[in-house]
Structure 1
Amino acid sequence: MSTVADLLKRPEVKETVLKTVQLDGQVVLKIMQHCDGALPAIVTGQLLGLDVGQTMEVTDCFPFPSPEDEGDSSTNYQLDMMRCLREVNVDNNTVGWYQSSVLGQYQTQEMIETFISYHDSIRKCVCIVYDPQRQQRGQVGLRAIRLKDSFIELFKEHKLTGKELREAGVGWRDVFIEVPVKIHNSSLAQALIADLNPAPGATAGDLDRLSLANAGYLSKTMGNLIECMDDMLAEQGKVSMYHRNVARQQQQLATWLQKRKQENIARRAAGEEPLPEEDPALFKPIPEPSALDQYLVTNQIASYCDMLGGAAEKGMAKMYLVQALQKATQQ
């Protein structure tokens, strides 16, 4: 027979997995305008919306003040903006933030710490990363980023050594998760777009996408990739130094233990009390360095490789197109 406590007990609500981030058209335009206007500086802003099942609906956003404009009067800027939006019946639920990036550079420890600060109150927090340079090259410059739940738990427990991450089955690909982005427009906006006459022929934007001048983009990306490789070598040097120190300590411990055993043999022969053969204060365990920086650098290297591969693929396609056009004009 059910008791009153069983009847009043709330059923456990199973947390759904976020599969899609839906951005309103005005949100995309606001993000692009803010990030493009602040180049080459990195800017951020707040995302507002609703968590609807497996979809995070982002319906509005507003920019954060730049570091030069921050002061005592802007301490409560975020709360003031959300209060003003609430007064005009606009969604004021925080669902994450957006930020700009330069050539795909966003995988930093500061981003992870920001995710952790949001995670306690917003379980499905997302970050929209916008790359203006990538957008100018005709590629999609928007991407939605999240942290994997298993990595968040390890980060909170400060279990970031290589051994602890391997035991948990968390690799460098398991730090950030990219969520598919869907652009949504209201029915009035869709009706307006359908009513507008299409532009005759090719536009200036279409011609810009056919540009073959990508040497500057490739050289900058290669330069950043080389810097990441140097960082990776530095991280590997830290790991090698740790293993050398551990091996040196073990050798010193073996030498000390052998000496102590010989000393105890002499003390027993003299009828004296033997000394302990374990001294925890003498040889303390060397802490293993964190593997987080190595994971982040590896993620950044993979991102640069994908960017170079995509640029090379599009460049080859354009060259074949130009070659076909030249042959057609010569005939």
Structure 2
Amino acid sequence: MSFATQAAASDGAKKPQEPKAPVKAVELDGGAALKIMKHCADAAPGSATGQLLGLDIGASLDVTACFPFPKVTADDQYDPDGSFAAEEGAAYQLDMMRCLREINVDSNIVGWYQSTYLGTFYNEELIATFLSYSESLQRCVCVAYDPTYAEQGVCALKALKLSEKFIEAYKNGNGELTVEQIHEKGLKWNDVVVEVPLTIRNSALATAVMGELMRDKDVTLNDTDYERLDLSTAPFVEENMKLLGECMEDFANEQQRVAYYQRNMQRYQSQHAHWLHKRRQENARRRAAGEDLLPEEDPNYKAPQPPSRLENFLITNQVAEHVTHLENFTKKTSAKLDLVTALGK
């Protein structure tokens, strides 16, 4: 369990007060975005996570500040490359929020951020963290940043949330996503984690400073940048294909689990029907002899539990994420290849 989940559980004493409209947009402050990018890039290839602070305004979440979750070594000393803290981390979180409040920085928790590798964030830990936060916050988001994806010249920030339909179905199923709940709520694989439109916003002062820095830089900006024609995307595509293959293996394993459950269910139904037929024959004989009837419910027979479909949905989301990455980059590579070919001719 990550520290983000532990931090959410530590605030679980506070309950949501009144229903609110779902989050429709996220506005991320430019300074907070730079902090997230730097923390995740410095921690790569390891993981990084931190707290998002801001304001819950209307249908949008305004993220104005953030801070990283601490990591400590065995001797309780802070270490960026150490393991996630537990009790020390909770105290650190409270101290950070107290200090930020003293300097008039928004100290309201609106979610958390985390680093990813090639979009591999669709897992049960993400769902567990969201559910932990939902115990104290009705509306929260996770901002995911992929340093590897950002190296390809793409803004790799994504704002994610759980859909209301999935939360209701998951809670009604007592922590399991069964086939009955899926059919009842009309859930699809892309109804579990949904992406929220994210906008990076700078203050007027920051915009003015950037305008001043860009003054008299037109000549430099118009210089030819031949690195834009770089076609070496093979490592990125290769890693995506490798992860996509692993996802397909996981998907096949999930299908085998479902097939195994169906076989067990058929065996159970056949055995139960045979037992019920014998019991009814025995009751017919007892009824003719005037004896007491035996119950037609056998407590020794227990139907096998159906597997949760959540893992299947998460794997499908992960496959779609890798396919989207491959599609975007192969389109760009094809355009560069056509341009380089035309220049060569």
Q: TM-score, normalised by structure 2?
A: 0.85
Equivalent position to 2:151, from 130, 136, 140: 136
Counterpart in 1 of 2:194? 177
1:94, distance to aligned residue in structure 2 (A) = 0.8
Deviation at 1:105, TM superposition (A): 0.5
Structure 2 matches for 1:151-162, cutoff 5 A?
151-157=166-172, 158=174, 159-162=176-179
Q: In structure 2, what is the equivalent of residue 7 of structure 1?
A: none
| Pairwise CA distance, 1:121 | 2.2
Q: Does 1:210 align with 2:229?
A: yes
Q: What one-letter code is carried by the residue in structure 2 that aligns with 1:47? A: L
Q: Partner of 1:6 in structure 2? A: none
Instruction: Answer with 247-256 or 206-215: which moved more.
Output: 206-215
Give the deviation of 1:71 after TM superposition.
6.4
Asked whether the equivalents of residues 248 and 319 of structure 2 are also in contact (C-alpha less than 8 Å), the reply is yes
Shift of residue 321, structure 1, vs aligned partner: 1.4
Any residues of structure 2 matched to 1:101-112 within 5 Å, and which? 101-112=116-127
Identity of aligned residues (%): 45
Does structure 2 retain, via aligned residues, the 8 Å contact 1:261–1:277? no
Residue in structure 1 matching 2:57, options 42, 49, 52: 52
- After TM superposition, list the pairs within 5 Å mapping 1:178-327 onto structure 2: 178-195=195-212, 196-197=214-215, 198=217, 200-201=219-220, 207-267=226-286, 271=289, 273=291, 275-276=293-294, 278-327=296-345
Quote the offset at 1:130 in angstroms: 0.1
Matched residues, number: 315
Q: Distance in 1 between matches of 2:179 and 2:225?
A: 48
Question: What is the distance in 2 between the residues matched to 1:204 and 1:287?
Answer: 65
Q: Is the 8 A contact 1:43 1:66 kept in 2?
A: no
Residue 15 of structure 1: how far off its partner (Å): 2.8
Instruction: Indicate if the aligned counterparts of 1:138 and 1:209 stay in contact, CA closer than 8 A.
Output: no
Rg larger for: 1
After superposition, the Cα gap between the structure-2 partners of 1:82 and 1:303, relative to the gap in structure 1 and judged at 3 Å, is same
Equivalent residue letter for 1:192 = V
Q: Does the CA-based 8 Å contact 1:257-1:277 persist in structure 2?
A: no
Structure 2 alignment gaps of length 5 or more: 1-16, 79-84
CA contact (8 A) 2:20 2:138 kept: no
Match for 2:294: what amino acid? P
Q: Which amino acid aligns with 2:264?
A: N
Task: Output the CA distance in 2 between the equivalents of 1:312 and 1:177.
Answer: 24
Stretches (4+) displaced over 4 A: 201-207, 264-269
Structure 1 window deviating more from structure 2 (207-216 vs 254-263): it is 254-263
Alpha carbons of 1:76 and 1:206: their partners in 2 closer, same or farther (altered >3 Å)?
A: farther
Structure 1 stretch 49-58 or stretch 292-301: which is displaced more? 49-58
Which segment is superposed worse, 150-159 or 82-91? Answer: 150-159
Q: Which runs of 5+ in 1 are unaligned?
A: 1-11
CA shift in 2, pair 1:315/1:254, >3 Å: same
Q: Which amino acid aligns with 2:49?
A: T
TM superposition shift of 1:264 = 4.2
Among 13, 23, 28, the residue aligned to 1:23: 28
Once the two structures are TM-superposed, the CA of residue 298 in structure 1 deviates from its matched residue by: 0.7
